[in-house]
Amino acid sequence: MPELPEVETVVRTLEHQIQGREIEDVAVRTPMILECDPDQFRKTLIGQHFRTFERRGKYLLLYMDSVLFLSHLRMEGKYYLQAPEEPLDRHMHVIFQLDDGRQLRYRDTRKFGRMNLLPMDTDLLTFHGLGPEPFWDSFNADYIREYCKGRKEPVKSLLLDQHFVAGIGNIYADEICFACGIRPGRSCARMTKKDRENLVTETRRILTRAIAAGGTTIRSYTSSLGVTGRFQLECMVHEQKVCKVCGNEIRMKWIGGRSSYYCPHCQH
pLDDT, tens digit (0-9, with 9 covering 90-100), for 104-131: 999 999 999 999 999 999 999 889 899 9
Q: For residue 75, what pLDDT band results from cuts at 50, 70 and 90?
A: confident
Active-site positions read: 2-3, 58, 258
Structurally, the chain folds into a number of domains equal to: 2
pLDDT of residue 232: 65
Q: For residue 221, what pLDDT band results from cuts at 50, 70 and 90?
A: very low
Pair 159, 219 in one domain: yes
Annotated binding residues, as ranges?
Answer: 91, 110, 151
Pair 86, 173 in one domain: no
pLDDT, tens digit (0-9, with 9 covering 90-100), for 138-158: 999 999 999 999 999 999 999
The model's pTM = 0.89
Pair 66, 164 in one domain: no
Cα 238 to Cα 73, 165, 204: the distances in Å are: 22, 20, 18
Pair 200, 172 in one domain: yes
pLDDT of residue 8: 92
DSSP string, 143-197: HHHHHHTT---BHHHHHH-TTTSSS--HHHHHHHHHHHT--TTSBGGG--HHHHH
> What is the percentage of the chain residues whose pLDDT exceeds 90?
85
Domain finish residue from 122, 151, 176: 122
Which range marks the domain in which residue 74 is found?
4-122
pLDDT of residue 220: 44
Provide the CATH number for the domain around residue 72: 3.20.190.10
Does pLDDT of 187 surpass 50? Answer: yes
pLDDT of residue 229: 60
Annotated binding residues for DNA, as ranges?
Answer: 91, 110, 151
- CA–CA dist 226, 263 (Å, integer): 34
